[in-house]
Amino acid sequence: MYLKLIAAIAIAAITAGCGTVARNETSPSPQNNGSVRAQQTSPQKKEIANPEQVSRHLEQLAMGIKGVTNAHCVVLGNTAVVGIDVDSKLDRSRVGTIKYSVAEAFHKDPYGIDAIVTADMDLSQRLNEIGADIRRGRPISGFAEEMADIIGRIVPQIPREVMPQDPEVQQRANNLHNLH
């Protein structure tokens, strides 16, 4: 008798479970289930409306770096070519650190500009002259070849992310670094 009762209950439970009909109705509960979503945004770079004004701003920013006595800057798009004057008694490694600090400061500035930095006195003076000519109204296109030569002589000091996020890219970067 108990066996028939258990079998009947099992059959009833199985048929009741299979009797559920799928419905295309939406649930009355909110779709986000009480979670809060934050939209991630990257900080907006300031638009460079007046390259001459940005150039003066960046020169002041560069002169704020310890070790820089003067700076001359020419802005080309989202890149600044900057010549810095430093104490001639500083050793090369210290000058390299100062150059990198200037490039990093430019990159972190609200304009978010990349910098090609030189401490060569001749190039710095020439950048000063080009900047003065631009302020007098001479178009940058007249300096294109000379700027290309100057940029070609300078090793870029452009701060980027130190390590790539992708492990495969990171491994390739490590392999390239080990070759040098």
Of the candidates 118, 107, 92, the residue with the CA atom closest to the CA atom of residue 158: 107
Q: Is the pLDDT of residue 88 over 50?
A: yes
Q: Is the pLDDT of residue 67 over 90?
A: yes
The more confidently predicted of residues 51 and 33 is 51
Hey, what domains does the chain have and what are their CATH numbers? 51-153 (3.30.70.1350)
Label residue 90 left, alpha or beta by phi (over 0 means left) and psi (-120 to 50 means alpha).
beta
Residue the block writes with tokens 């001479």: 138
Summarize pLDDT for 125-169 with one digit per residue, the tens.
999 988 888 888 887 777 787 888 888 787 555 555 544 456 665
For the chain, percent helix, then strand, then coil, each to nearest 5?
A: 50, 10, 40
Average pLDDT, the chain: 76
Q: In this predicted structure, what is the pLDDT of residue 164?
A: 47
What are residue 79's DSSP bridge partners?
76, 114
